[in-house]
Amino acid sequence: MIYFDYASTTPVRAEVLEAYEKILHTYYANADSLHQEGRKVHTLLEQSRANIAQLFHVRPSEILYASCASEANNYALKGFALANQNRGKHIITSCAEHSSIQSSARQLEEVFGFEVTYLPLHADGRVHLEDVKQALRKDTILVSIMLVNNETGCINPIEEIATYVHAHSRAVVHSDMVQGLGKMTLPLAAVDMATFSAHKIFGLKGSGILYHREHLRLLALISAGQQEGGLRGGTSNAPTEIVFAKTLRLALEEQEAHIAHVRELNAYARAQLQTVRDIEINSPAEALPFILNFSCLSIGSEIMLNALDARGICVSAQSTCNSRGKAISHVLLAMGKDQLRATHAVRLSFSHLSTRQEIDFFIRALKEIIDEYATR
Ligand SMILES: Cc1ncc(COP(=O)(O)O)c(C=O)c1O
């Protein structure tokens, strides 16, 4: 099997799994129980929060554990907007965000009477500061723009956007940094909130984080007990949350080596793709090398994915969360690519585990599939 779908999810690394199993067996008490076993778990949980905060150069009280990045994005959008609607009801986001941002924004519009401006993408696959400037209003309370697009790897100018928004408004800036973590230097200091997911960095599924500046008011989306400062009730998923710190530390320690490996691999894959007929590369050269999006103009995404799958190669067409919808990439359309390219897209996503041999195998399979299925 060849796995080129690391942007969708990653396998758990052995060190994380080992730590998780140990904690699961030993520290099963409720982190909020007052007895000594509960206190031990609570201490580990808070130690993990402190370690995460240290790795991000923020305060422990600014780290909110969540069940996934989708949940953290819901907190950033709905949790923030609903708690701050007295200051204004306008939000700016982009048309290319993850479904957890898009659906939250829609819900704020349709159910809670907010107004949302969806910024376009440009041909470079990025949101441009000019558009943010135009959209910013007196009643804008939140600007949420992702750092790295999950379909193309395009990197948005978050620092530039946040600096402008902070200088010209009272709006808060959130960035979904899920696809950037462990893969680039993060502009975390520039933003007020940011979202992360453990399973994209060889950690556990069901584990996300929202970084939120201490002074920000958020509404509790799960009303229950005192957990997570009262913002997110329910018995803490302590073992999962405790190993986030280790997952993050390992990802950051190895970041430079991973980037170097994947950069080289991406260049190799691009060069090899140039030798295949009907292929147009959609990810610009400046995109994050971990994601490489292309279209095969003679074969639709679905047929291509199935044909690759039959040869033991795992790839995606678009965001995995939209994979059961219609096979058209709204991100590519938003970049100005035509309908053909948007319905014929394939997303390769790499990691430090990916190899040249895998690329070679993939390219051979791609050529065979095109010879067999091409419609032109
Ligand atoms: C950019 C982006 N944001 C958010 C998510 C959601 O992450 P999770 O699966 O942890 O909810 C994903 C996952 O595909 C993503 O790519």
Residue with CA nearest ligand 1 atom 13: 8
Cα dihedral sign, 202-203-205-208:
negative
Going by their DSSP bridges, the two strands 172-176 and 193-197 should be labelled as parallel
Ligand 1 atom nearest to CA at 72: 11
Just list the catalytic residues: 321
What does the domain layout of the chain look like in residue ranges? 2-9+254-373, 14-253
AA letter at 257: A
CA gap 104, 142 in Å, rounded: 13
Contacts of residue 107, Cβ cutoff 8 Å, sequence gap at least 6: 78
Identify whether the C-beta of residue 212 lies closer than 8 Å to the C-beta of residue 62. Answer: yes
> In this structure, which topology does domain 2-9+254-373 adopt according to CATH?
Aspartate Aminotransferase, domain 1 (3.90.1150)
CA gap 197, 181 in Å, rounded: 8
Give residue 11's pLDDT. 98
Give residue 324's pLDDT. 53
3 CA distance to ligand 1 middle (Å): 18
Does the domain at 14-253 match CATH 3.40.640.10? Answer given as yes
Contacts of residue 236, Cβ cutoff 8 Å, sequence gap at least 6: 30, 31, 32, 45, 65, 227, 228
Give residue 327's pLDDT. 75
* Ligand 1 mutation target, pool 197, 290, 291, most atoms within 8 A of CB: 197
183 CA distance to ligand 1 middle (Å): 15
Pocket of ligand 1 (CB under 6 A): 68-70, 98, 100, 146, 150, 176, 178-179, 197, 199, 208, 319-321
Strand partners, 301: none
Give residue 177's pLDDT. 99
Cα–Cα–Cα angle for 187, 269, 186, rounded to 5 degrees: 5
Ligand 1 atom nearest to CA at 100: 4
Give residue 374's pLDDT. 80
Cα dihedral sign, 259-263-269-273:
positive
CA gap 125, 334 in Å, rounded: 8
Classified as helix, coil or strand, 200 is helix
20 CA distance to ligand 1 middle (Å): 22
| pLDDT mean by block of 10 residues, the chain; 376 residues | 98 98 96 97 98 98 98 98 98 98 98 98 98 98 98 98 98 98 98 98 98 97 94 96 98 98 98 98 98 97 96 86 68 97 97 98 98 79
Identify whether the C-beta of residue 374 lies closer than 8 Å to the C-beta of residue 298. Answer: yes
Residue with CA nearest ligand 1 atom 7: 69
